[in-house]
Structure 1
């Protein structure tokens, strides 16, 4: 601290201890400010966590009512994936198909002995009809590995090359009977083997097809067949195409995801609402306990969510509420047992009931969930309720912003308080220093006076 500090040298009083004790009393309100900061920080953290879960719930609800969930799809199955696999490329005629794989498509393969060139030159690659395709350069003394690297490094060779026991083995990158090629020039020795490429041959419902690739996209509309192996003579592989319709498994998954997200919000809010505060808390742990206990805004949110979940959707017939799809809080009491989850508002899914509704009335399920453009379903109704609490204009975010503002005010309050305390301590220091200085001057004057009196008496 600046200034003279006599610390009771004249008066005999421990002024520094007195100042310290006085400042301890003066600073007592600071603890209240810091505890308010701790409590507000905790409240903000809880609200941010809840905000994240509410946003997840919104995403799940958006998926629930998305028209994209109801785009037609079809199941495609193969009786033997080691022989034929199948996938959809578009709308396909439903039904069954018998597929016999008589021959797989293969690529042309040729093997040559390799002769190291005595001078720089080129290895020339031609098409099956003799027309030039490309050339790769080889240096004098090049090895078979050098030739392999040069061919594989060429973007126009259309060949794979490999060194097999010193021989140059080449395979076409495409399959079929037009995959042939020829090589001449530097490094090329005697051809020791040639295996011609061949087309795939397949019969589908007694109709024969021949294609250059084992991937066939133009035999059955909307389907891609990939041939994997030959079938035994006289045998076939069954390929089955289902009727067009929504992906029921995906819809069930989205309903379950919504229920999970909804329950996460309810559990989090319930935990915040029921955690009781510590009366007259004096520590950070105390004041951060129960900061949202009995919060009216969160109670209102849970109440509105629950009433929206259970209410029938106006304008619909047949399937009119989520309970009709097996989504509900269940019974609050089962005999003598209390179902606390039901009381708390947690949802359950009766998957059997949901799948039955999808099988017997898919259009009704779609309308109820909100997947029909221009029709208000549960998804739209719940989105309206959710908008009061989610997003920048929602209650939860506004409460977070309010906490942020409160923390800023408390930080300013604490800064100002500390400045006042510093000024107060400085003032006390100056006052006690002035007192000690005055006492010192008084003692000096007294000593001088006593000296004069003693001198006069002697005279």
Structure 2
């Protein structure tokens, strides 16, 4: 018969407690394997953190390879309400006086009152071109090379005409505005500049719609709201016109974005060397490197007071990676003029604790006085392999696809997977062992119970014998 409680009825043994203690002893190898797996997983996580900070260092090192950072120029304006300015690396340092005489704009006209009621099926033709006025104040229209666009209109309302004009995509956009008395059809150039002017002529049901700025106003069914014109500026007293409000290279290497006409005083545009991009790139590198050092130190430290080791204490590979990274960033680079340069020449030095520090004054001086030399040292050129590329190659040997970190993590993961398989095997075995123990105790209980039954039977038989006395 089976054991139905944790205490055997025949033996009085606490089977569950005995089996639990026996299994505790049997489980010791599996416990040790689990402890080893946990330790390896913790180490794998630690190497994951090192990989993360190493990736940040790689990114910061790669960022040093952009030569434009070291030749960057900035452009500042004295009045940002009139214009803004951006500069390229080809800009020349200096101050420039700029006046905004005109902003580039497109043409805009509005239909006269009463036009809405005379709209019917017909053809409306829009021709793009340029209006010009000579010294005698005579205005003429020069058609653009693009042919006039005829719009075949079959509707009868101003709204339908607006939609037909917009669907034709003539370079002119139509809208309807109510002036408080009647609806007005407003036509406006899609772009800006003197070449965005236009003429309008209609036939049949639209014969009453026309506009030509070079003719008498009385012959037009539209009124001018704004004439098309180019932008016009003065730079150092020289007049310059452009077809847009973005003016490039009026000041060499500088783009001016015009926003409003100046009134009296010119806007002063100051172009100067901009070290901010290069300074940020160097500071980001130092920050990333120090982050790597801090993480590695935390993973390998040993607390003498508490006798406590860290997760990677004693792992020689960490010291090797740290030494490689330090050597990669503090190495000397031979330049094309035969001289050599290293980070310390521009204010980045190694400290006693293994971190890097930046002397911003020395860094700014190097960037200002030797931009080409710094650019060659960090970014390289056709004849020099810069520090960015040299260091990146070394860092890739640590953190690349086939780098030492990848090998380390692959080995740890392999060990963890192997232990997992061993644990699965052990768990299967332990289940069988526990079943065997319980079967043995069940057999023991059955045997004892049987013996007890026999004893009871014999006692009863003996008691029935004549003359038997207890």
TM-score, normalization: structure 1? Answer: 0.77
Q: Does structure 2 retain, via aligned residues, the 8 Å contact 1:6–1:433?
A: no
Moved more, 447-456 or 152-161: 447-456
| Structure 2 spans left out of the alignment, 5+ residues | 129-140, 210-219
| 1:254 alignment partner, one of 277, 281, 284 | 281
Aligned twin of 1:135: 151
Alignment of 1:174-323 (within 5 A): 174-178=191-195, 179-182=197-200, 184=202, 185=205, 191=221, 193-195=223-225, 196-217=227-248, 222-232=253-263, 236-239=266-269, 248-276=275-303, 290-306=310-326, 309-310=329-330, 312-313=332-333, 320-323=341-344
Conserved in 1, the CA contact under 8 Å of 2:126 and 2:198? no
- What is the 5 A alignment of 1:96-115? 97-112=96-111, 113=113
**1:209 to partner: Cα distance:** 4.0
In the alignment, the residues of structure 2 paired with residue 278 and residue 445 of structure 1 have an alpha-carbon distance, to the nearest angstrom, of 69
Tell me the residue number matched to 1:161. Answer: 175
| Number of equivalent positions | 431
Q: Do the aligned partners of 1:110 and 1:191 also contact (CA within 8 Å) in 2?
A: no
Partner of 2:133: none
- 2:34 aligned residue: 34
**Are 2:346 and 1:325 equivalent residues in the alignment?**
yes
2:136 — aligned with what?
Answer: none
Give the corresponding residue for 1:283: none
Higher mean C-alpha displacement, 172-181 vs 303-312? 303-312
1: distance between equivalents of 2:239 and 2:371? 39
Q: CA deviation at 1:40?
A: 2.0
Instruction: Rate the CA distance shift 1:413–1:133 in 2: closer, same or farther, 3 A.
Output: same
| 1:127, distance to aligned residue in structure 2 (A) | 1.8
The alpha-carbon distance between structure 1 residues 400 and 122, as it changes in their structure 2 partners (threshold 3 A), is farther
Q: Provide the rounded CA distance (Å) in 2 between the counterparts of 1:41 and 1:62.
A: 31
Give the Cα separation in 2 of the matches to 1:384 and 1:157.
54
Deviation at 1:430, TM superposition (A): 0.9
The residue aligned with 1:23 is 23
RMSD: 4.0
Contact 1:312 1:321 in 2 (8 A): yes
Instruction: Report the counterpart of residue 82 of structure 1 in structure 2.
Output: 81
1:170 aligns with 2:168: no
Instruction: Work out whether residues 117 and 187 of structure 1, in 8 Å CA contact, stay in contact via their aligned partners in 2.
Output: no
| Matching residue of 1:9 | 9
Aligned to 2:216: none
Preserved CA contact (<8 Å) 1:106 1:197: yes
Q: Which stretch shows the higher mean deviation, 79-88 or 11-20?
A: 79-88
Residue matched to 1:60: 60
Q: Give, in whole Å, the separation in 2 of the partners of 1:215 and 1:314.
A: 43
- The alpha-carbon deviation at position 260 of structure 1 amounts to 0.8
Q: Say which structure is richer in strand.
A: 2
Instruction: Give the 3 Å change call, closer, same or farther, for CA 373–256 of structure 1 in structure 2.
Output: farther
| Aligned partner of residue 230 in structure 1, secondary structure | coil
CA distance in 1, matches of 2:389, 2:247: 44
- After superposition, what is the alpha-carbon deviation per residue over 1:396-435, rounded to whole angstroms, capped at 9, x for unaligned? 2222222212221222222222222111110011111111
1:125 and 1:182 in contact (8 A); partners too = yes
**Counterpart residue number, 2:367:** 358
Hey, what's the Cα distance between the residues in 2 that align with 1:69 and 1:90?
A: 9
Asked whether the equivalents of residues 138 and 186 of structure 1 are also in contact (C-alpha less than 8 Å), the reply is no
Q: Is the 8 A contact 1:277 1:291 kept in 2?
A: no
Cα distance, 1:449 vs structure 2: 4.5
Closer, same or farther: CA 208–29 of 1 in aligned 2, 3 Å: same
SS in 1 for 2:399: coil
TM-score computed with the length of structure 2 as normaliser: 0.76
The answer to whether the 8 A contact 1:123-1:188 is kept is: no
Quick check: 1:395 aligned with 2:384? Answer: no
Measured at CA, do residues 422 and 211 of structure 1 come closer, stay the same or move farther in structure 2, by a change above 3 Å? closer
